[in-house]
Amino acid sequence: MANIKSAKKRILTSARKAAANKAVKTNVKTVVKNVRTAVAAGDKDAAAKALKTAETAIDKAATKGVLHKNTASNKVSKLASAVAKMN
């Protein structure tokens, strides 16, 4: 444990921010999984709805700096491609 007051504060703020980032990442993983399960089930309507939700969550994560913008773009592109291939 740190002895300097500013270092103690930094540890606390880092832990708080790490918890917030983890929550956002977990949410992104969940919505991506929802899209993939809908695609695997062959339910086009559910996949389209899940894709819209996923896009929102991924874009918010990129805006907050939790995900890099190119990573977010890549995730959305892959999911949209998977939904588009459903026929």
Q: What is the pTM of this model?
A: 0.87
How many folded domains does the chain comprise? 1
Evaluate whether residue 1 is within a structural domain. no
| Predicted local confidence at residue 78, as pLDDT | 97
| Predicted local confidence at residue 38, as pLDDT | 96
Identify the H or E element spanning 15: helix 5-41
Evaluate whether residue 11 is within a structural domain. no
Full domain range(s) for residue 57 = 23-84
The CATH number given to whatever domain includes residue 39 is: 1.20.58.110
- What is the rounded CA–CA span in Å between residue 59 and residue 53? 10
| Predicted local confidence at residue 21, as pLDDT | 97
Positions in the chain short of pLDDT 70: 87
| Predicted local confidence at residue 6, as pLDDT | 96
11's tokens = 């540890």
